[in-house]
């Protein structure tokens, strides 16, 4: 836009506003219990398939009826998706919701966007929620940080350890707020927080073993899975591929189009929980090995994590883990919590007394930190370390041998073959 066209556009807008009647709803002024516009976080969504749509309009992992669209402290300004019908339908739904809230049938504020770069270029957007195919996560997060946006990114936050580190460093360098989408630290009635508090306070003694129920995981560029097909109208297939190798459309275009060994999708919940409880948000395991048919991790303090179901059963399989100490054990997942001796659950101290971050809403924690500029419960470093733990397991499965890991230098000491798997080539021009 030239200076002259900008002034012309501004004059027309000013005239239109001056000519309009001054009928301003209370919600626009922050009255009658509504949040004032100056206090609302302006948000753009990137990816509104299953997970993203759940965050947008309400779903099992958003924990608030109506999702972000229903929040009084949020204003949704743009929705980006490479599927035209998906983004346009989502925008119609959001605008309809806002029209009902304001009592103005003509109210429109949310715009559909095909290319996420156009969304990031908007100066009126404070934060973005990224729920795209997994091979985009670290690249979009880094680009959003450089564009001055705060970021909520769904898991897995990265597909390689090097790109995960680069993403985390970029977020920190640009001073952005970041929330990883491993929401168990905040949700489920505090079950996971209670287990973390029990372990951190020494109530089960010294932790010796952990059962993770899930293996780690890595990815592979899975080309040629099916027969080439015409690209459907309204799908930007080249932008869907983005950093992935160029390949023909074969009927598959969803978040897990590129997945590989182990469990890169569900595993992050288990290992984020384990890292948190063990106090390893700034570090990680030092060894990954396969014993029998079970993947295992070993930490510098001697704790061994078994990537398999616990022989004792009980909670842990649904996103959780079981921690076994010298004085007892505690296990937690999305279905509940159990401990031995059982009395442990009746005398849990305040989490904050042992340095456990207290958050009761994952999206709420993110939005509050956008306003206050305080660290989130799943910040860039802890999210990177949890992603690293997952990927380390996947690489051991891929190489079918034990791996030594240096969590300070973030390399495999003296292991050129494994170090080559720390990164992957992204298709130009995409990079972290």
The pLDDT of residue 36 is 62
Residues 314, 317, 321, CA angle at the centre, nearest 5°? 80
The pLDDT of residue 206 is 98
Question: Taking the CB of residue 50, how many other CB atoms lie within 10 A of it?
Answer: 11
The pLDDT of residue 1 is 47
Query: Which residues, other chains included, contact 239 with Cβ-Cβ below 8 Å and sequence gap of 6+?
Result: 82, 114, 115
Contact 367, 373 (CB under 8 A): no
The listed range with the strongest mean pLDDT (5-14, 56-65, 97-106, 116-125) is 116-125
* pLDDT at residue 203 tops 80: yes
For 156-183, write each residue's pLDDT tens digit: 999 999 999 999 999 999 999 999 999 9
Name the average pLDDT for the chain.
90
For 302-348, write each residue's pLDDT tens digit: 999 999 999 988 899 999 999 999 999 999 999 999 999 989 999 99
Nearest CA to 203 out of 358, 299, 347 is that of 347
* pLDDT at residue 403 tops 50: yes
Question: Can you tell me the mean pLDDT for 17-40?
Answer: 50
Contact 272, 381 (CB under 8 A): no
Task: Return the higher-pLDDT residue of 260 and 240.
Answer: 240
For 210-248, write each residue's pLDDT tens digit: 999 999 999 988 765 778 999 999 999 999 999 999 999
Domains in the chain, CATH or no CATH each? 25-184 (3.40.50.720), 188-218+262-361+379-422 (3.30.360)
Q: 61, exposed or middle or buried, with CB in 10 Å at 0-12, 13-18, 19+?
A: middle
- At 63, the pLDDT band (50, 70, 90 cuts) reads confident
| Cα–Cα distances in angstroms (integers) from residue 80 to residues 50, 131, 162, in the given order | 14, 10, 27
The span from the CA of 29 to the CA of 14, in Å, is 20
The pLDDT of residue 104 is 82
Output the pTM of the full model: 0.90
The span from the CA of 148 to the CA of 174, in Å, is 7
* pLDDT at residue 22 tops 50: no
The pLDDT of residue 114 is 97
Task: Return the higher-pLDDT residue of 147 and 31.
Answer: 147
| Cα–Cα distances in angstroms (integers) from residue 394 to residues 318, 401, 409, in the given order | 20, 11, 19
* pLDDT at residue 61 tops 70: no
Question: Taking the CB of residue 334, how many other CB atoms lie within 10 A of it?
Answer: 16
The pLDDT of residue 259 is 85
For 37-54, write each residue's pLDDT tens digit: 667 999 999 999 989 999
For 83-140, write each residue's pLDDT tens digit: 999 999 999 999 999 999 888 887 889 999 999 999 999 999 999 999 999 999 999 9
The span from the CA of 50 to the CA of 33, in Å, is 32
Full 3-state SS string of 310-363:
CCCCCCCCCCCEEEEECCCEEEEECCEEEEECHHHHHCCCCHHHHCCCCCCCHH
The pLDDT of residue 257 is 86
């Amino acid at each position: 836009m030239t200076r002259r066209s900008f002034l012309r556009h501004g004059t027309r807008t000013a005239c239109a506003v001056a000519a309009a009647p001054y009928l301003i709803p209370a919600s626009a002024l922050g009255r009658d219990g509504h949040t004032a516009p100056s206090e609302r976080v302006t948000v753009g969504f990137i990816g509104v398939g299953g997970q993203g749509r759940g965050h947008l309009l309400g779903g099992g992992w958003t924990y608030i009826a109506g999702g972000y669209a229903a929040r009084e402290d949020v204003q949704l300004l743009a929705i980006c998706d490479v599927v035209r019908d998906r983004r346009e339908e989502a925008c119609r739904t959001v605008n309809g919701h806002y029209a009902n809230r304001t009592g103005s049938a003509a109210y429109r504020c949310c715009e559909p966007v095909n290319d996420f770069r156009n969304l990031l270029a908007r100066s009126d957007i404070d934060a973005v929620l990224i729920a795209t195919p997994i091979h985009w996560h670290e690249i979009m997060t880094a680009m959003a940080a450089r564009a001055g946006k705060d970021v909520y990114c769904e898991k897995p936050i990265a597909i390689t350890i090097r790109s995960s580190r680069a993403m985390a460093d970029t977020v920190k360098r640009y001073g952005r707020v970041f929330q990883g989408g491993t929401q168990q630290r905040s949700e489920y009635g505090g079950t996971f927080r209670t287990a973390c508090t029990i372990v951190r306070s020494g109530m089960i003694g010294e932790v010796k073993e952990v059962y993770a129920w899930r293996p780690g995981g890595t990815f592979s560029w899975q080309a040629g899975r099916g027969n080439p097909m015409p690209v459907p109208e309204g799908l930007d297939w080249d932008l869907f591929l983005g950093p992935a190798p160029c390949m023909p459309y074969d009927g598959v275009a969803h978040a897990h189009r590129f997945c590989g060994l182990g469990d890169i999708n569900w595993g992050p919940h288990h290992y984020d929980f384990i890292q948190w409880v063990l106090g390893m948000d700034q570090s990680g395991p030092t060894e990954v090995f396969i014993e029998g048919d079970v993947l295992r991790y070993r930490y510098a303090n001697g704790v061994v994590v078994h990537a398999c179901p616990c022989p004792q059963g009980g909670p842990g399989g649904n996103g959780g883990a079981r921690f076994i100490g010298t004085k007892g054990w505690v296990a937690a997942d999305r279905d509940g919590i159990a401990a031995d001796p059982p009395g442990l659950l009746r005398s849990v101290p305040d989490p904050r007394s042992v340095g456990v971050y207290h958050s009761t809403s994952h999206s709420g924690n993110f939005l509050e930190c956008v306003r206050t500029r305080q660290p989130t419960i799943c910040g860039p470093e802890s999210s990177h370390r949890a992603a690293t733990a997952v990927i380390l397991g996947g690489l051991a499965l891929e190489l079918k041998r034990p791996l030594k890991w240096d969590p300070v230098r973030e390399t495999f000491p003296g292991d050129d073959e494994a170090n080559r798997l720390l990164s992957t080539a992204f298709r130009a021009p995409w990079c972290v």
